[in-house]
Structure 1
Amino acid sequence: MPRPTSSPPHVHFFFPFFYIPCLVFLCSLSHVAESQIPDQELQALLQLRQSWHSPSSLDHWVPSNSSSHCTWPEVTCQDGSISELNLVYLNINYSIPPFICHLKNLTKLDVSNNNISGEFPTVLYDCSKLAYLDLSQNSFQGPIPSDIDRMADLQVLILTANSFSFDIPASIARLQRLRILHLNQSEYNGTYPEEIFGLSNLEELSLAYNPQLAPSQLPRNFTALKKLRFFSMPQTNLFGGIPETVSDMEALECLNLGANPLTGKIPGSIFALRNLSQLYVYETNVSGSIPQAVSATKLSVIHLSFNNLTGNIPEDFRKLENLSSLSLQYNQLSGGIPKGIGRLPALSDVRLSNNILSGTIPPDFGKLSPLTRFEASCNKLTGALPEQLCHGGMLFELDVSYNNLSGELPESLGNCSTLSVVKLNNNGFTGNVPGGLWMSRNLTALCLSVNGLSGELPEELSPNLTRIEMHNNKFSGKLPTTVSSWRNLVVFDATNTLLSGTVPTELTELPSLTTLLLSQNDLSGILPTDIVSWKSLTALNLSHNKISGPIPSKIGLLPVLTQLDLSDNQLSGLIPPEIGQLNVNRLNLSCNRLSGPIPAKLEHTAYDTSFLNNSDLCASNSFMKLNVCNSHSHRSSKTGHTLIVILTIAAAMVIVLLVLLMIRASRKNKDWYDSTPKLTSFQRLNFTESNILSGLKELNVIGSGGSGKVYHIIVNPSGDAVAVKRISNNGKSDEKLEKQFVAEVEILGNIKHLHIIKLLCCISCENSKLLVYEYMENSSLDLWLHKKKRLSPVSGVANNMILEWPKRLQIAIGAAKGLYYMHNNCSPPIIHRDVKSSNILLDSEFNAKIADFGLARMLDKPGEAASMSAVAGTLGYLAPEYAHTTRANEKIDVYSFGVVLLELTTGREANDANEDMCLADWAWHHMQDGKPISDALDEEFKDNSNIDEISNVFELGIFCTNPLPSARPTMKEVVQVLLKPSNQRHRPDVGPSPQPPPPAPVEIQRRNTNSLH
C-alpha cells in the first residue's frame, strides 16, 4: 500500500501566515456588518413612524445617544437585533409599509387594537422569519389572500374583529407550523376549509362569532387534533350533533360550541376528557338528558344553560370534586336537586333557574361548600330554605323567586354580611324577616313581594340598600320617621300591605328615590307639603288609601315625574295649577273630593279619564267627561289680561335675546381663529382642519339638536363629504356637553364596525369642539319612516320614495348587529342608552349605522347594571326599569331597539302625540285585546307578500319591550331571529290576556317559560 505524499516543509510554514491576514479581514467585515444592523433598524423604525404621520403615541421614537431603540417599550431585541414589535393601542390609521421587513430578524408583529384599514397586508410576505402575527381589532377588509401559505413560518395567526369577508381560504391549512389560529368575529360569508382540522400542531382554534358562515357540521376529522387545548366555535351556524369521538381530543381544556343550532344529546364521552375544565354548550338546541357517566374528575366549570336538556340532574355530579361552577339554567330539567351536589367541597356558583325542578332544596346545601351564588328561580321547588346556605360566610347572591317555597326565613340569613342581592319573591314564606337581613351592610336589593311575610319595617336599613320590593305581604305598622336615613333608596314598593299612619315628611328627603309605590294600604292624614329632595322621582302611586287634605302644589314641580296616581283617596280642594306643568304619561286623580276647574294644560284627551268621580270638578270642554265650568267668561277675561302682560314681557326678552345671539355669533366666528385648533384623527383622512373650518357656514347646516348644529361639508375637489357636529360652550364650562363629547370620542375613537358610525376625527379649541363623521347619504331612519322632512336636501334621493319592507328588514338587521357588537364584542361592553330611529343613520345603500354615542356608557362587566347619575334618553324609547331606577345594562338598549322594530313594522312614532300611550304600550294593548296583527301594521304593507315576515318582526318588537328585563332577549338572540329565513322565523303564540306578557319567538321562548308568572 503506497504511503501518502508529504508536503514540503516550507508549505506548512507558509499556510498559517497566509490565512491570518485573511481571517482578520473577514472578521473585520463581519464586525462592521453587525455594527451597521442597529443603525439600519433604527432608520427603519424612524421611517415607519414617519409613514404613519408621526402619531403622538410614538413621540418617544427619536434617536438618542444615551439609549438604544431596543429600550423603547414597543420594541424587543435579541442579540442586539429587533425580534418583536408590539404596536398595540397606538391609534395607527395608516397601512403597514413594505419596508417594515427591513427588520430582517423580526419574528413577532402585533398591531392589534388600531385603526388600520385596507386589505390583508401581503407586504409581510417578505418578513421571512415572521412566526407571530396579530392583526386583531382593526378595520381590514376583503378576503384573506389565497397565497397566505407563503408565510410558511407562522405559528400564531390572530385576525379577530376585522371585516374580512368571503371564504376562509384552504391555503391556511398549509401553514403546517400553526399552533394558534383565531379567525373570530369578522364578516366571513362563505365557508371555512375542513383541512384546518388537519393542522396537527394546533393548540388553539377559534372561529367564534361568525354568524354569516355557511351552515356546516363539525367535520369528522376535527377530533384528530390531539394537541388542541382550546376549541371555540360559538355562533358559527354549526348544525347536527356533537360526535362521541370528541373524547379522542385528549388535551382539550375548553370546549365552546354555544349559540348554534346543534341538536341531539350531549355525548357522555365529553365527561371522560381528563383535562377539560370548561364546557360551554349554551343557547343550542342540544336535547336529551345529561349523561350519567360523569368521570372527568378535573372538570371545574360546567355551562350547559339555554338548551333543551330534559330528565334529572345526575347524581354522578357528586364525583366532580373540583367543580366550582355549575350552570344548568334555562333547560327543561325535572326531578330534584341531588343531595350530593351540595356536598362538593369547591362548589361556589350554582345556577339552576328556569327549569321544572321540584322537591326540596337539600337541607345541608351550603354547609360544606363555599357558596357565593345560588340561583334556582322559576322552578317548582317546595319546602323551606336550608338553614346553612351562608355557612361559609361568602354568599353574595340568593335568588329563589317564583317557586312554591314556604316556612319562615332562616335566622342565619340575618347574619350573612356578604349578601348583596336577595330575591325571595313569589313564594309562600311566612313570619318575620330576620332583623339582621335588613341591616346586612352589603345588601343592595331585597325582593320579598308576593309572600305571607309579616312584621314592621325597621328603624334602620343597610346603608347600601337601593331597592325594596315588599308588595302583597302582611307587613303592618307605620312608616318610621327614621326613613330619612334610607339615603340610597331608589325603589320602594310596599303596595298592598297593611301599612298605616301618615306619609312622614322624612320620606320626602330621600335624594335618590325614583319609584315610590304605597297604594292599597291604610295610610291617612295629609301629604307633606315641603318636598325637599324628590328631584329624581319618576313614579308616585299613593292610590287606594285614606289620605285627605289638598294636593301639595310642589308635586307639580318635580322635574322628572312621569307617573302620578293619587286616586281613591279623600283629597279635597283645587288641583294646583303646577300639576299642569308636569310632563306625565300616566295621571290619575279620580275618586277624590277635588273641586274647581282643572288646570288648562290638562284639558287634553290624554287625561279624559284622569278626573272621574270628583263631583265638584269642572272643565271648559265637555269632552273631559266633567261638568262645564260656569265662570268661563271671567276666566277668559282674566286670562286675556294675563296674556297681554306675558306677551309684552316675551317681546322684550326676544329683543334682548336677538342682541345676545348677534354678539354670540360674532364671537363664534372668531373662536377658531383666536385659538389654535387641535385635530385628533381616528381614521385615515383625505382632508385637513382648514377644509372643515371653512365649511362651517349656515348654508351647510343640515340639522341641529341639544348639543349643537350639524353641517354637511364637501372636503375636497373629488366631492367627498363629511358630517360635522359642532358643540359650543359659549365660553363657559358645560359639564353635560363635555361629558357627551368625551363619551363620543372615547367610544367611537376606539371601536370600528360596519354598522356603527365612523368617527373620522375631532377638532377642538378653547370654546368649541367639532366631531367629524362619515357622511350618510340617506339621513336617518326617523325621517324615512315618519315623513317629517323625508330626507336632507343634499341627499339627492327622491322625497317620495317609499321605504319598502326588504329595506326595512335590512336596516333592522344592520342596527341589531351594531348593538350586538357593542354588547358582546367590546371590552368592556358598551350600552348606547339612546337607541331610537333618529340615531340610526343610512348610507347610500341603506346600510344602517348606530350613531350619537354622547349618552353611551361602558359597563364594568357584561350583564351587570351600572348606576347612572340621572335618567337619559328619549321618551317613548326608555325602558321602564331604567326610568325608575337609573340603573342600566344591555337590556335597556334591547327595549329601545324593540320600539324601533315596532316603528319599522307599524310606521307609527315611538311617542305619538295623537295617542294616549307610547307605541310600546299601544302595541301591547293591541295584542292583549286579541286584535289581528295585520291591523297594527303600516298601511304601506297592505297586500304585501311578506306579511307573515312583517308580523313576526312586530312580535319580536313586542318581546323586546317586555316590562320585565330578564324576559327580554339579548341582542345576540335578536340578530339570530332576524337572520332566520322567513319560513323559519316562527311566530310566537300570543294570547289575548294582558298577563303574563306575550311569549318569545320559538327560538328563544323556552328561556322565559317560567319567568313571567
Structure 2
Amino acid sequence: MPRLTSSPPHIHFFFYIPCLVFLCSLSHVAESQIQDQEQQVLLKLRQSWRDPSSLDHWVTSKSSSHCTWPEITCQDGSITELNLVNLNINYSIPPFICDLKNLNKLDLSYNNIHGEFPTVLYYCSELMYLDLSQNYFEGRIPSDIDRMGNLQVLILAGNSFSFDIPVAIARLPRLRILDLHQSEYNGTYPEEIFGLSDLEELRLEYNDKFVPSQLPQNFTALKKLRFFSMAQTNLIGGIPETIGNMEALEHLDLGMNPLTGEIPGSIFALRNLSELYVYMTNVSGSIAQAVSAMNLSMIDLSENNLMGTIPEVFGKLKNLYSLNLEFNQLSGRIPEGIGRLPALSDVRLSNNNLSGTIPPDFGKFSLLTRFEVAINNLTGTLPEQLCHGGTLIGLAALDNNLSGELPESLGNCSTLSVAMLNNNEFTGNVPGGLWMSRSLTALILSGNGLTGELPEELSPNLTRIEISNNKFFGKIPSTVSSWRNLGVFYASNNLLRGTVPTELTELPLLTRLVLGQNELSGILPTDIVSWKSLTTLNLSHNKISGPIPSELGFLPVLTQLDLSGNQLSGLIPPEIGQLNLNRLNLSSNRLSGPIPAKLENAAYDTSFLNNPGLCASNSFMRINVCNAQPHRLSKTNPTLIVILAIVAAMCVLLVVLFTIRASRKNRSSFDSTPKLTSFQSLNFTESNILSGLKEHNVIGSGGSGKVYRIIVNPSGDAVAVKRISNNQKLNEKLEKQFVAEVEILGNIKHRHIVKLLCCISCENSKLLVYEYMENSSLDHWLHKKKRLSPILGVTNNMILDWPKRLQIALGAAKGLCYMHNDFSSPIIHRDVKSSNILLDSEFNAKIADFGLARMLAKPGEAVSMTTVAGSFGYLAPEYAHTTRVNEKIDVYSFGVVLLELTTGREANDRDEDMCLADWAWRHIQDGNPISDALDEEIKDDSNVDEISNVFKLGIFCTATLPSTRPTMKEVLQVLLKCSDLLYNVEKKSRHKFDVVPLLENSKHDEMPRSNFHDFERNTY
C-alpha cells in the first residue's frame, strides 16, 4: 500500500489565508449593506415626519455613520435603539420603522403625535422597550396588545387613552415596568395585571376617572415590585394587611384617595421600604410601632387623621432623612431619639396637638435643612443647635407657647432663608447676627415679647421683616437706606419713637410699610419719589404732625393709605384724590377745609371722621356739609355751541377714517407669505383662518390684540383665533408673548389646559389658533349680570351653581398642578385670573393665555423677571418688588379665583375700598361669620360648610408670605376632599383648628395673611 503523508504546516497556512480574507470581505459587505439599508430607513422616517428641524443633522455623510447621531444607538453596526424624545414630532409612526430589524428600544416621549395606539409596531418583533408617554394618543389601548410579546417596558403615561385598560396587557409575561399614569381612562383596570410576576414598577396614578374600586387582594403577590403608585385613582376601602408580604417594595404612594380605616401595621414590617406616602385620605388610627427593622429613608403620613403619640421606635430609623407627620391629630411629646437620628434633614410636625418641650438634640447629630413644628402646643425653648451643621434653610415654629430667648446660634446660621417664630412668648433681644444672616429673606417675629433697638445693618437679601406686637424701642436708624431689598416692613404696636426718617423713602422695592401704634412724631418726609412700588402705607396712631404731603398723591401704585389717629393739620391735598385707593383712613386728626371732590365717594364715608374742621359738599360723607354758594347757570354762549358742533363733526370724520384704515389693515397685514406651524392634526386650512378675520367674528380683545371665533368647515366646527398684531413690525413685548405661547402650549398637553392647534405668522401679525371653548370664560359667568351666549347671541340668565363652580376650581387646579409638578420643566403662568379660565360645553375648565408664562429650571427655583406683568387684584404682593418669582405667585392668583367663586365678587371691585384678597382677610379679621361673605346665589344649608372651606382655602393661597402658601398639589388635594362627587363620605365631627380665633387679635395690616398650616382642615 502507498504510504500516506501529511502536508507540511506551511502549506495549510497559505491555503487558509485567502479563505479568511474572503469571509471577512463577505462579512464587511453584509454589514455595510445593513448600515446602508438602515440609514435609508432613517432618512425616509425623517421625510415622513415632514423634515422636523430637530432632525436636520440626519443627512448622508461619507465621514461618519448614522450610528454617531445622538438619537441612535447601534450594536455590531446595527440600530438597536431610537431615542426621539421631545423633538416636536407631529405625525404618525410609519410602518416601515420596523424595517429596523434589530430595534429593541423606541422612545418617542414628549412629542405631539396624535391618533390611536400605533399597531404598526406589532411588526417590530425585537421590541422590548416602548415609551410613547406625553403625546396625544387617544382611544382604547388595543385588546391584542399582547402580540408585542417581548415587551419588558411599556410607558404610555400622559396621553388621552380612555375606556378600560385591556386585560391583554396582563398577557405580556416579561413586563418589568408598566406606566399608565395620567390619562383619561374612564373604566377599570384588570386585576390580572397584579399577576405579572416580573413586575418591578407599576404606575397607575392620576387617573381620577377610574370606576371606584378597592385594591385587589392579589396585588400583594407582586414579590419583585419596588415602585407602586396608585395616587388619585378613586381607590376606596382600606389598605389590606397583606401589603406586608410585598418584600421588595421601596416606594408606596396611595395618596389622594378616599381610603378609610387604619394604616395597617404590616406596612412597617417592609424592610426595604424607603419612601412611604399615605396622605390626603381618610385613613385614621395610630401609628404602628413595628418599624425598627425597616430601611425607611422617608416617611410621609401627613394629612390623615392619625391620633395617639409619635412612636419612640421612630428614633431607631438610622437611615431616615425626611419625617413628615403634619396635619394629623398627634399628641404627646416629640420622642427624644428622633433628635439624635444621624441622617435626619427634613422635619415637618406642624398642625398637630404636640406638647411638651422640643428635644434639645435636634441639629446636633444631623444636618438639618428644614425644621417645622408650627401650630402645636409646644413649650420651652428652641433647641440651641438647630443650625449646628450649617445647613438649616427653613425654620417654622409659629403659633406655639415657646418662651425664653432666641438661640444665639441662629445668629451664626449663614444658610437660614426663612425664620417664622411669630405668636409665641419669646423675650429678650434678637441675636445680632440673625439680622445679618446673608441668606435670610424673611424674618417673622410678630406677636412675642422681644425687645431691643432696630439694627444699623440688615442682611442684603432680606425682603420681609415682621416685628409687630413686640417691645422694640428707639429710633428707626438713618442707615435704613442700606436695607435696599426690603419689600415689606411690619413694625406696628411697638415702642418706636423719633421721626419717620427721610432715608426710609429711599427704599425702591418697598411695597408695604406698616408702622402704626408706635410713638413716632415730627412731620412726614416729602421726597418720596423712590416709593414707586409702595402699595400700603400705614402710620396710624402715632404723634405725627404737620400737613399731609401732596407728594403722596403721585405714588403710582398706592392702594391703601392709613394716617388716622395722628396730629396732622391743614388741607387734604387734592392730589390724594388722584390715587386709586382701595382703603383710605384720615380720621382722628386736625385736618380742615373741604375734602377733595374726587374723594367724595361713598367708599370713603368713614375715612374723615373726627376732624372737626373738615367739610364735604354731600351729606352722605358723615362730616359737616360745606356752606358753598350754589353756582348760577349763565346764559348759553352761542360761540361755544358752534365750537362744540365743529368738534363733534370732526370726531365723526375721524371715526369714519379710522374704520376705513382698520379695514385696509386687516387685508394688508398678511400680504407677506404667512407660515403655518401645526401642533395638532387639523381639519382646516390656512385660508379658512385668514378669510375669517372679520370684525363681525370678533368675540373679545386684550392687550395683545383681538380674538375671533371662526367657522372653519361646512360641519360648523369653530376655532378661537388670537391675533397678536401691531401697526408696524411686532414690538419686543408682543414678540415675547407670541414665542412664550408657542413654546409652551406647543408642547404641553393636558385636558385642563387649552389646546393650541397651530400658529400662523408673518412680519406684522401672528395668529394663535386654539380649540374653541363654548362657554367663554369664568369671569363671563361670575361677573356679568346679563350674559350673552357666544354662540346663539341670546341672553342667558343661568346661575353658575356651586357644583359647577367646584368642578371649575378642580379643573383649573389640576391644570396648574400639572404645570408646576408634572411637565418636563415646571411652568409658572404669571397671569392666572378668572378671564383666563375658559369653559367648554360641559363647564370643564381649561387654563388659557400663556403669553406671560415662563419655565423654571427645576421645581421651586425662581426665575428672574425684568418687569412686573399680570392683572391688578391677582398680583402676589412680592411680585411687585422682586425680580425673582416662582410657582407661589400662581398660587396667590388662584386663591383670588377661589374667593371669586365663593363670594361672587370681582378681584378688584371698585365699589369696595380694597381688593378682594384684602377684603376677605379683613372680613375674617373683624370676626364676621364666613357665611356672610358667601355668594347668596349659591349657598344653602347643605353646602355652606363646603363653600366656607373653599373660601378659607382662598385665604391661605393669598398669604402675604410666599413660603406660607400651599403648593398647587396641596390645594388640589383640599379641593378634591371638598368635592362630594369624588369624596362621597359622611362628614364627621373632629377637633378643629379654626382660622378665626387665630386671627381675631391681629390689627388690620400689622400681621401677614394666615398661612396654610392654620387651615381648619379637619372638618371631614
TM-score for both structures, normalised by structure 2: 0.88
Deviations 1:258-316 (A, max 9, x none): 22223333333333333222122222222222222222353222222112222222222
Counterpart residue identity of residue 802, structure 1: M
User: Structure 1's 498 and 828: CA in aligned 2 closer, same or farther, altered over 3 A?
Assistant: farther
Query: Which one of 699, 703, 708 corresponds to residue 706 of structure 1?
Result: 703
Q: Distance in 1 between matches of 2:560 and 2:932?
A: 31
Contact 1:955/1:987, CA 8 A, preserved across alignment: no
Change (3 A) 1:868 1:696: same
- Output the CA distance in 1 between the equivalents of 2:993 and 2:305: 24
Give the 3 Å change call, closer, same or farther, for CA 422–815 of structure 1 in structure 2: closer
User: Considering only aligned residues, what root-mean-square deviation do their CA atoms show, in Å?
Assistant: 3.9
User: What amino acid does structure 1 have at the position aligned with 2:122?
Assistant: Y
- 1:802 maps to which of 798, 801, 818: 798
Paired with 2:993 and 2:625, the residues of 1 have a C-alpha distance of 42
Give the corresponding residue for 2:220: 223
Name 2:975's counterpart in structure 1: 974
Matched, 1:1008 2:1015: yes
* Alignment partner, residue 404 of structure 2: 407
| Residue 301 in structure 1 maps to residue 289 in structure 2 | no
Q: 1:55 to 1:27 in 2, by over 3 A?
A: same
Cα distance in 2 between the residues matched to 1:973 and 1:203: 31
- Structure 1 residue 601: deviation in Å? 1.7
Q: 1:507-552 deviations in whole A, cap 9, x for unaligned?
A: 1111111111111111111111011211111111111111111112
**TM superposition shift of 1:853:** 2.0
Cα distance 1:344–1:906, how it changes in 2: closer, same or farther (>3 A)?
A: closer
Amino acid in the other structure paired with 1:960: G
Whole-angstrom distance in 2 between the partners of 1:659 and 1:533: 44
Equivalent of residue 208 in structure 2, options 206, 211, 227: 211
Q: Which residue number corresponds to residue 574 of structure 1?
A: 571
Counterpart of 2:134 in structure 1 is: 137
Q: Mark the CA change 1:370 to 1:49 in structure 2 (over 3 Å): closer, same or farther.
A: same
Distance 2:129 2:971 in 1: 35
Q: How far apart in 1 are the matches of 2:793 and 2:980?
A: 28
Q: Secondary structure at the match of 1:534?
A: coil
1:633 offset after TM fit, Å? 4.3
Determine the C-alpha separation between the residues in 2 that align with 1:858 and 1:350.
29
1:381-780 alignment, distance < 5 Å: 381-631=378-628, 633=630, 665=662, 668=665, 672=669, 676-716=673-713, 718-731=715-728, 734-780=731-777
Equivalent residue number for residue 11 of structure 1:
none
User: Cα distance, 1:842 vs. partner?
Assistant: 2.7
Letter in 2 for 1:584: L
Per the TM alignment, residue 913 of structure 1 is displaced from its structure 2 partner at its CA by: 4.0
Q: How many Å separate the matches in 1 of 2:1012 and 2:394?
A: 26
Residues 894 and 960 of structure 1 are in contact (CA less than 8 Å); yes or no, is this contact kept in structure 2?
A: no
The residue that corresponds to 1:234 in the other structure is 231
2:399 is aligned with what amino acid?
Y
AA matched with 1:493: Y
Shift of 1:27: 11
Q: CA deviation at 1:467?
A: 0.8
| Cα separation, 2, equivalents of 1:923 and 1:452 | 29
CA 1:737–1:580: 2 relative to 1, 3 Å: farther
Aligned to 2:5: none
3-state DSSP class of the match of 2:472?
Answer: strand
Out of 932, 949, 957, the residue aligned to residue 951 of structure 2 is: 957
Letter in 2 for 1:799: T
Distance 1:61 1:260, change over 3 A: same
What is the SS of the residue equivalent to 1:536? coil
Q: What CA deviation, in whole Å up to 9, does each residue of 1:808-827 have, x standing for no partner?
A: 55544433432333344224
Residues 733-789 of structure 1: per-residue CA shift (max 9 Å, x gap): 745434433332232122111221111223333343322212223322333444467
Native 8 Å contact 1:413 1:434 kept in 2: yes
Out of 846, 849, 852, the position equivalent to 2:846 is 849
Question: Does 1:324 pair with 2:321?
Answer: yes
Q: Please, which runs of 5 or more residues in structure 1 have no aligned partner?
A: 1-20, 999-1003
Task: Tell me how far 1:504 sits from its aligned partner.
Answer: 0.9
1:260 and 2:260 correspond: no
**Contact preservation (8 Å) 1:354, 1:1010:** no
Cα distance in structure 2, aligned partners of 1:857 and 1:139: 23
1:947 Cα deviation (Å)?
6.7
Contact 1:899/1:957 (<8 A) preserved: no
- Matched-pair contact (CA < 8 Å) for 1:348–1:373: yes
Gaps of 5+ in 2: 1-17, 1001-1010
For 2:858 and 2:31, the matched residues in 1 are separated by 50
Distance 1:796 1:154, change over 3 A: same
* TM norm structure 1: 0.88
* Percent of residue pairs bearing the same amino acid type: 75
Superposition deviation, residue 381 in structure 1: 1.2
- Are the counterparts in 2 of residues 894 and 971 from structure 1 also a CA contact under 8 Å? no
Q: Could you say what secondary structure the match of 1:970 adopts?
A: helix
| SS of residue matched to 2:818 | helix
Post-superposition CA distance 1:804-853 (Å, at most 9, x none): 63655554443343233334422433343433332222334443322112
Q: 1:212 to 1:687 in 2, by over 3 A?
A: closer
Quickly say closer, same or farther: Cα 1:163–1:973, change in 2 above 3 A: farther
Q: How does 1:870-949 map onto structure 2 within 5 Å?
A: 872-878=869-875, 890=887, 893-894=890-891, 896-897=893-894, 899-900=896-897, 903-904=900-901, 908-916=905-913, 933=931, 936-937=934-935, 939=937, 948-949=942-943
Larger mean CA deviation between 491-500 and 873-882 belongs to: 873-882
CA distance in 2, matches of 1:173, 1:635: 92
C-alpha displacement at 1:402, in angstroms? 1.1
Aligned residues: 981
1:22 CA drift (Å) = 15
How many Å separate the matches in 2 of 1:243 and 1:991?
A: 31
Give, in whole Å, the separation in 2 of the partners of 1:704 and 1:494.
Answer: 44
AA paired with 2:263? I
**Residues 424 and 949 of structure 1: is their aligned pair in 2 closer, same or farther, counting only changes over 3 Å?**
closer
Provide the rounded CA distance (Å) in 2 between the counterparts of 1:935 and 1:454.
Answer: 38
How far apart are residue 430 of structure 1 and its match?
0.7
Mapping 1:151-300, distance limit 5 Å? 151-300=148-297
Contact in 1 for aligned 2:952/2:1015 (Cα 8 Å): no
State the Cα deviation string for residues 385-408 of structure 1 (Å, max 9, x = none). Answer: 222222212222221111111111
Contact 2:755–2:771 under 8 Å retained in 1:
yes
| Cα offsets for 1:316-370 (capped at 9, x unmatched) | 2222222222222112221212221222222222111111111111223211212
Distance in 2 between residues matched to 1:467 and 1:925, nearest whole Å:
21
Structure 1 887/405 Cα, relative in aligned 2: closer, same or farther at 3 Å?
Answer: farther
Other structure's SS at 2:112 match = coil
State the SS of the aligned residue for 1:296. Answer: coil
> How far apart are the structure 1 equivalents of 2:994 and 2:206?
37
Alignment-mate amino acid for residue 980 of structure 1: L
Per-residue deviation at 1:986?
Answer: 5.0
In structure 1, C-alpha distance between the alignment counterparts of 2:189 and 2:73, rounded to whole Å: 35
- Residue 117 of structure 1 pairs with residue 114 of structure 2: yes
Q: 1:3 — aligned with what?
A: none
Match of 2:36 in 1: 39
2:202 and 2:225 in contact (8 A); partners too: yes
- The question of whether the paired residues in 1 share the 8 Å contact of 2:109 and 2:135 is answered with yes
Higher deviation after alignment, 153-162 or 242-251: 242-251
Amino acid paired to 1:428: E
Question: Is the Cα contact below 8 Å between 1:337 and 1:357 reproduced in 2?
Answer: yes
Q: Which moved more, 1:127-136 or 1:473-482?
A: 127-136
